[in-house]
Amino acid sequence: MTQFPEPMRPFIFHVKDVQADENCGFRAVADMLDFGEDRWAPIRCDMLQEIAYAHLYLGVYETAHVKEIRQSLIHFEG
């Protein structure tokens, strides 16, 4: 908990350590959805399918960021 900035701490209700690798963000999401951290790949695939609707995100992200996000989701390792 000490790794989070002090102003954020009152809003954090649970901290879970997952395997530290290039998929740790997906592992954290999978675990918090009660799939288990080893079920990270379907989360990543779901996000890749969602980014197909990039035109809906252009108000939030610049075009370059959407392309960068897509590339990061396509690049599978592990």
Give the model confidence (pLDDT) of 24-42 as tens digits.
Answer: 889 999 998 999 999 999 9
In terms of Cα–Cα distance, which of 47, 48, 45, 40 is closest to 23? Answer: 40
Ordered by start, the domain boundaries in the chain are 6-74
Mean pLDDT (the chain, rounded):
84
pLDDT at residue 43 in the model = 92
54: tokens are: 């990039």
pTM of the model: 0.65
What does the pLDDT average to over 45-70? 80
H-helix segments, the chain: 24-32, 40-50, 54-57, 63-74
CA 67 vs. chain centroid, Å, equals 16
Does the pLDDT value for residue 66 go beyond 90? no
